[in-house]
Amino acid sequence: MDHGTTHNWPHGVGEILTALLEAGFDLQFVHEHRRTPWEQFPGMVADGDGLYRFPEVDLPLLLSVRAERAE
């Protein structure tokens, strides 16, 4: 099965948020997520709802940011 091509560019949280602010966006929220919809790293376990997490470590794995262009 073909899943397409994935490209990744890792950026730090500070770099992402600073770039949005410098581009004139107002941050509405920033959320950290401790579970992912895919097995991102070896050793992760699936919860009953199909999301993956580390079994013994509580780490943020994903980040959601909502920003709106300042007027």
pLDDT tens digit sequence for 9-37: 788 999 999 999 999 999 999 999 999 99
Domain count, the chain: 1
By the 8 A CB rule, do 50 and 39 touch?
A: no
Q: Which domain holds residue 38?
A: 28-69
Confirm whether 33 is domain-assigned: yes
Instruction: Give the model's pLDDT for residue 25.
Output: 96
State the Cα–Cα distance between residues 55 and 68, nearest whole angstrom.
36
Confirm whether 55 is domain-assigned: yes
Confirm whether 46 is domain-assigned: yes
By the 8 A CB rule, do 63 and 16 touch?
A: yes
Confirm whether 14 is domain-assigned: no
Confirm whether 58 is domain-assigned: yes
Confirm whether 4 is domain-assigned: no
């580390």: which residue's tokens?
Answer: 54
Q: Is this structure's pTM higher than 0.85? A: no
Confirm whether 6 is domain-assigned: no
